[in-house]
């Protein structure tokens, strides 16, 4: 009988199993490595799949249990087996909430007021109107585009950058390497929501920081590999940047004594910008199981030649 094999170091099987069965009663699910016949397995529900499972002869789908698939595209997934990322709209909503909150945190100068409180100083600061605050979203995919659109509704001067041209109401869109410098020029707040690929690794670096407005702030909700952390620490400690908020780091969990913990002006959250509901995420996975078993393309299909 066709079987879905579950393997993830991050998602909780005991939560996912009832969620999957609620959407497809009778679904056969096994947890790696507890399988009977590898020939029965036609779907992998995974974060990091066992490479042995990628060789099972009747695979129809590798379903990532998250939105990011940068860790999967280089694995030896057979060419005929589709790879799908999980596009859960409740997860996107949470991501937008995080990004909007982070932008407002810097827009309304909360770090300065927290520093004043530590000195027991009642110090007001002049307010900058949203229309005078230049916010840039680097990455206009399923996660970044809704952030740009929502920030535009606050009245911010919003720019967006992506590899290919996009059109978003209220957002000045830039595309490709040729337009990167214009996108970055004098931004007050830069948000990185890119996928991690060889071309985006280390993209948050000294050269990028130098193009931003003086005292600009950087928010990374993409992947830790996007940020040259040594460059970021130097930019914040020197005052070139006014601060940074990192939801992702090069090593997770961030170890004790890491320089990022110790640098004033750098805020860290433990990779929680996208918090997942197993019930709503399972609905997406089940829909993709139905689709591939009917011979159709899954939602969130990844173009592995382009990597995204």
Please write down the HEC assignment for all residues of 198-255.
CCCCCCECHHHHHHCCCCEEEEECCCHHHECHHHHHHHHHCCCEEEEEECCCCCCCCC
| pTM to 2 decimal places | 0.83
Radius of gyration of the chain (CA): 21
Say which of 134, 159, 223, 226 is annotated catalytic: 223
pLDDT (tens, 9 = 90+) of the chain, 308 residues, equals 799 999 998 889 999 999 999 999 999 999 999 988 999 999 999 998 998 999 999 999 999 998 778 888 888 999 999 999 998 888 889 999 999 999 999 999 999 999 999 999 999 999 999 999 999 999 999 899 999 999 999 999 999 999 999 999 999 999 999 999 999 999 999 999 998 888 999 999 999 999 999 999 999 999 999 999 999 999 999 999 999 999 999 999 999 999 999 999 999 999 999 877 889 899 999 999 999 999 999 999 998 766 44
Say which of 107, 134, 159, 271 is annotated catalytic: 271
Q: Provide the token pair at 66.
A: 């998250």
Q: Does an H or E element contain 99, and which?
A: helix 89-107
C-alpha–C-alpha distance, residues 71 and 2, integer Å: 26
- Which domains, ranges and CATH numbers included, belong to the chain? 3-88+276-293 (3.40.50.720), 89-268 (3.40.50.720)
Residue 192: how many CA atoms within 13 Å on its side-chain side?
28
CA quadruple 51, 54, 57, 58: dihedral sign: positive
Assess whether 107 carries a catalytic annotation: no
Q: Provide the token pair at 300.
A: 């969130």
Whether 66 and 28 have beta carbons less than 8 Å apart is answered as no
Phi/psi at 254 (5° precision): -65, 125
SS3 91: helix
Assess whether 223 carries a catalytic annotation: yes
């Amino acid at each position: 009988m066709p079987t879905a094999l579950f393997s993830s170091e991050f998602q909780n099987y005991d939560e996912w199993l009832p969620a999957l069965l609620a959407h497809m009663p009778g679904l056969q699910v096994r947890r790696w490595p507890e399988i009977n016949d590898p020939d029965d397995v036609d779907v992998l529900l995974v974060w990091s799949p066992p490479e042995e499972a990628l060789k099972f002869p009747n695979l129809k789908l590798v379903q990532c249990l998250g939105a990011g698939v940068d860790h999967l595209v280089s694995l030896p997934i057979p060419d005929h087996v589709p790879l799908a990322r999980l596009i859960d709209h409740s997860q996107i909503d949470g991501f937008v909430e995080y990004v909007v909150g982070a932008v407002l945190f810097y827009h309304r100068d909360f770090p300065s007021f927290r520093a004043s409180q530590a000195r027991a100083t009642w110090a007001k600061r002049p307010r900058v109107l949203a229309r005078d605050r230049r916010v840039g979203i680097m990455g206009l995919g399923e996660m970044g585009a809704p952030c740009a659109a929502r920030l535009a509704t606050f009245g911010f001067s919003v720019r967006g950058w992506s590899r290919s041209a996009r059109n978003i109401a209220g957002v000045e869109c830039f595309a490709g390497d040729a337009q990167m410098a214009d996108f970055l020029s004098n931004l007050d707040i830069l948000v990185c929501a890119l996928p991690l690929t060889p071309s985006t690794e280390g993209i948050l670096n000294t050269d990028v920081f130098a193009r931003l407005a003086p005292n600009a702030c950087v928010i990374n909700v993409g992947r830790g590999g996007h940020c040259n952390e040594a460059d970021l620490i130097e930019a914040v400690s020197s005052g070139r940047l006014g601060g940074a908020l990192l939801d992702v780091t090069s090593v997770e969990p961030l170890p004790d004594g890491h320089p990022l913990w110790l640098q004033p002006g750098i805020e860290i959250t433990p990779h929680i910008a996208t918090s997942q509901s197993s019930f709503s995420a399972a609905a997406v996975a089940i829909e993709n199981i139905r689709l591939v078993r009917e011979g159709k393309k899954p939602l969130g299909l990844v173009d592995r030649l382009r990597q995204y």
